[in-house]
Amino acid sequence: MTNRNTPASPLVLGAMSFGTLVDEETSFALLDRFVDRGGIWIDTADCYSFWTSETGQGGASEEVLGRWLAARPDARAHVRISTKVGAEPLWPGSWPEHRAGLSPRAIHAAVEGSLERLGVDRIDLLWLHQEDRTVAIEDTVDALAALTVDGTVGRVGASNHPAWRIERARAHARKIGSVPLDAFQLNSTYLRTRPGTLPPGVAHPFGVLSDEQRDFARANGIEIWAYTPLLSGAYDNPAKPVPEVYDHPGTARRLAVLAEIAAARDLGRGQIVLAWQLARGIRPILGGSKLDQLDVAMDAASISLSVEEITLLDEPA
């Protein structure tokens, strides 16, 4: 399965729908192809995907990954697993009012469950899935510190958090001599929503990568991972319209530049979006459910945009 001569890919395979919308056979095929093409990072969460599962709770994605790892004994040496804690409903139908949250007790219980479902003894990157202001961020960091000290967790990151909370978390980690949060996971794509709106599927007020968050990340050496970078296929699939929240004059200008560059290179618009994100130091998460979609997206990792193309994309006339 693994071709060790294949260059490592900077792209991430998102496993959110594995075990629910994507059946196990297809999930295994996607995972195999991802690794064959140099993929390393696989992203999931303990709550994936409670909104489409028969039980109303998560765990299916991690369970599929666990069975894939068990069936591919050599794979664990070549892949890195990232998973998230904090957003699992306490009972079916209780989200978002009643979710696991980020107390030390909840974090440790969630990690134990993830390790069991994944069939691993270490999580390479553990994410705080969404902020929990009922818990002091310092208490959350203390719980993360215990996990990194004993080697259960390698790195820690945060999804859907404002920059100021991350800075407070990092300051406390430095104070206690712990591993600081070093990764953001946020919604990011080429188009920008209208002010005051959120893209479909983003339920967090700080879930979309802002200029401030990106500036903070760059100044502090924090990795940025982008979820839903391809608008669920809307850049290239005429059957999937661009969501209404992107309907403003700036979008028309950006789509025109995107189409011009894509046509000149005989590439898909989505491939240019991925290449543009990579050029900006952003690691896109791929969430497709078909092998051909995965192949097209992974081809984007080898696209090198010129300075002129990046300037046009950054500042459309």
Catalytically active residues are 48
Asked if residues 39 and 9 have their Cβ atoms less than 8 Å apart, the reply is: yes
Q: 113 and 146 in contact (C-beta within 8 Å)?
A: no
- The answer to whether the CB of 46 falls within 8 A of the CB of 113 is yes
**Phi/psi at 10 (nearest 5 deg)?**
-80, -10
DSSP state of 246: G
Q: How far is CA 205 from CA 2, 210, 230, 274, 284, in A?
A: 40, 11, 20, 24, 20
What letter does residue 102 receive in the DSSP assignment? S
Report whether 6 contacts 37 (CB < 8 A): yes
Q: Structure tokens of 170?
A: 């990092």
The pair of three-digit structure tokens given for residue 103, joined into one six-digit string: 């107390």
The alpha-helical segments, DSSP class H, found in 119-156 are: 137-149
Residues 6 or more apart whose CB falls under 8 angstroms from that of 172 comprise: 137, 138, 141, 142
Strands (E), the chain: 12-14, 41-43, 80-85, 123-128, 153-159, 183-187, 223-227, 282-286
Encoded amino acid at 279, one letter: A
What is the three-class DSSP state of 285?
strand
